[in-house]
Structure 1
Amino acid sequence: MALHPRLALFDAHESAPVLPVCDHYCGVEARMRKSLQLQAELGPIFDVTLDCEDGAPVGGEAEHAQLVAEMASSALNLHGRVGARVHPVDHPSFDADVATLVKRAGSQLAYLMVPKIESFDQAQTAVAAIDRAMVEHGHKRLLPVHVLIETHGGLRDVQRIAAHPRIDSLSFGLMDFVSAHRGAIPQAGMSAQGQFEHPLVLRAKLEISAACHAYNKTPSHCVVTEFKKLDLLRDAAKKASRQLGYLRMWSIHPDQILPIVESFAPTVAETDQAIEILMAAQAADWAPISHHQTLHDRASFRYFWHVLERARQTGQALPAQVEEVFFADTPGAAA
């Protein structure tokens, strides 16, 4: 029996979790519940990140963290793809956020997002605190950690942060990054179009993406604040995916979720090509093949495997034979 592509094409150190392409943020209770209901309906084609940072009212941080923990540990978390954003490491509420979330929902949370990372040392401090809390509260698993790069220091240390074995994903924080330049980057640098044009913003995006790919981590693209202008969102999502190498993108409004998923998905033609090549390659025991008078070998097989994984992750319907051959041991991406 021919080897599965995960075994035939990749070494152990190259394995990485395949995360949904959309990360939807919400912090107000009504919106959190609506987002979880939408995820239950559509399936785990997007993550829901419940926000303890910007979502918490001043003075009500502890109560908000309790609410987030309750939701993450309830039946609303149907697919196990709910995470939470905590306060920054140097914020007085960070330790309390982590303790509350881990104690009540440590076995159900998909990840914790830590914002405003200033350095590799600060990233290490955050990871150590999360790991310590998991042990203290009797959880046997390692809780995945995502971090938000939105400061000069975080960008300076981005390679070391991406290399950290406990960090799965790096997100770019556009708004805080632009603000950190003291007006040197104009307001347009925060817009759907301008964020792809200003050199300092583009440099940050590329450095984060490159660092993630160097260490098999998931680069996650920033927000589009013009949430009602879906044409601008689609354009930004396609640029992030096709030009800058991002594998994931933030949503801040439910209307943005499906356009992001669709923009990050391969086309039907790309998926069909990947299926044809991978099926022929497996039949040849992963030796080089000719497909439409083009030579393909292990390098292109690896590429097409990523295309096929992404097609399934974004909810595309695949032929039954493909599901049986390649994904029989993998939970479905759609409900």
Structure 2
Amino acid sequence: MERPVRLRRSLLSVPANRERMVQKALGLPADVVMLDLEDSVPVEEKAAARQAVVEALRLGDWGGKVRAYRINDMGTPFAYRDVIDVVEAAGDLVDVIVVPKVNDPAEIKALDYLLTQIEWAMGVHKRIGLEASIETAQGMARVHTIAGSSPRLEALVFGVADYGASLGMPSGGVSGHGDGEGDYPGHRWHYPLSRMVMAAKAAGLAAMDAPYGDFKDEAGLGRSCALSRALGYDGKWAIHPAQLETINAAFSPEEEEVQRALRIVEAYESARAKGEGTLALDGKMVDAASVRLAQVTVAAWRRIREQQKETTDSE
């Protein structure tokens, strides 16, 4: 089973226990809305928040958005119930489960096995995807093996604040990019960003960058988006709804990219129909990674066009 190609330019996280915030988020132009059971939900509200995720999945108007929720990390006593309670009740409506603070590929493998058993037992007729957040020194050290740990894995996510804390890096308390970056002669997140996106793309996964902390600094957000896109990232988390428009624009493919991607996909499909094992375009061989990138670009372009049409039709 091939991994689905999803539009992931922007992701907005919402506390699952805040119903009004959830409903508002579903009407915003985020490609992915993630209902959070982790940091934003107090311990005493974890159980009720799981039921809120189920209700939002069943009753919310998602409008084609990627339906995601984030469990608590695998080192807590909450993660297994986050999976069982939600997937048993609404598994067919879950696109992706986001796994925070992944330190070891065994965490992803364990979730894969658990999800497989629940899907069998409950008759879920789809494969629920996983996203692994790389937020610690341990996780970054093992990022290549994490990236290849499960066919359910669809994306890696860089968690800049917790990653910096795990290394003991000085922090000004800003949760995201833009914190203390002038204290280093260069971009102090370049190495982990480059390492993580390389691991993701080598495994055929999407790569999502951490949010930019100051939602009032639009110029800083634009620079941060441009840097991560230049490294090969597919999208970025938003820390505030006001950031979504800038993020979506930054990670939308340019017309030249789209036209080349369309030609590659057309040539690939033609070669496959003829049973040919190799693909050449403009006198050059096209490898599997380039085909996958072209497919992602075309899928993103088509979904963006659909969103624009939906917006026009509703006006």
Task: Judge same fold: TM > 0.5, yes or no.
Answer: yes
Matched, 1:171 2:157: yes
Q: Secondary structure at the match of 1:59?
A: helix
Query: Equivalent residue for 2:302?
Result: 312
Q: What RMSD in Å do the two structures reach over aligned CA positions?
A: 3.1
Letter in 2 for 1:178: G
Q: CA deviation at 1:68?
A: 1.4
Q: Secondary structure at the match of 2:12?
A: strand
Query: Equivalent residue for 2:116?
Result: 131
Query: Equivalent residue for 1:233?
Result: 221
Query: Equivalent residue for 1:58?
Result: 43
Aligned length: 294
CA distance in 2, matches of 1:204, 1:107: 35
2:200 to 207, 212, 225: 212
Letter in 2 for 1:266: P
Q: CA deviation at 1:141?
A: 2.3
Letter in 1 for 2:131: H
CA distance in 2, matches of 1:301, 1:126: 30
CA distance in 1, matches of 2:132, 2:265: 37
Q: CA deviation at 1:301?
A: 7.8
**1:173-231 deviation digits (Å, cap 9, x = unpaired):** 1111111122x345499542755966663221111100011010111111111112222
Q: CA deviation at 1:77?
A: 2.6
Q: Secondary structure at the match of 1:228?
A: coil
CA distance in 2, matches of 1:220, 1:264: 11
Query: Equivalent residue for 2:33?
Result: 48
Q: Secondary structure at the match of 1:203?
A: helix
Q: Secondary structure at the match of 2:59?
A: coil
Q: CA deviation at 1:19?
A: 3.3
Q: CA deviation at 1:166?
A: 2.0
Question: Which one scores higher on RCO, CA 8 angstroms, separation ≥ 6?
Answer: 1
Moved more, 58-67 or 225-234: 225-234
Contact 2:172–2:179, Cα closer than 8 Å, also in 1? no
TM-score by length of 2: 0.81
CA distance in 2, matches of 1:237, 1:73: 33
**1:128-148 deviation digits (Å, cap 9, x = unpaired):** 233333333332322101111
Query: Equivalent residue for 1:34?
Result: 24
2:125 to 137, 140, 148: 140
Matched, 1:256 2:256: no
Q: Secondary structure at the match of 1:73?
A: helix
Q: Secondary structure at the match of 1:24?
A: strand
CA distance in 2, matches of 1:279, 1:76: 32
**1:248-278 deviation digits (Å, cap 9, x = unpaired):** 2111211111211100112345445666x66
Letter in 2 for 1:76: D
Report percent identity of matched pairs: 21
* Cα distance change, pair 119–199 in 1 and its aligned pair in 2 (3 A): farther
CA distance in 1, matches of 2:78, 2:266: 54
Q: Secondary structure at the match of 1:118?
A: coil
Query: Equivalent residue for 1:320?
Result: none
1:112 to 97, 104, 108: 97
* Cα distance change, pair 240–301 in 1 and its aligned pair in 2 (3 A): closer
Contact 1:80–1:109, Cα closer than 8 Å, also in 2? no
How do 1:11-30 residues align onto structure 2 when only pairs under 5 Å count? Answer: 17-27=5-15, 28-30=18-20
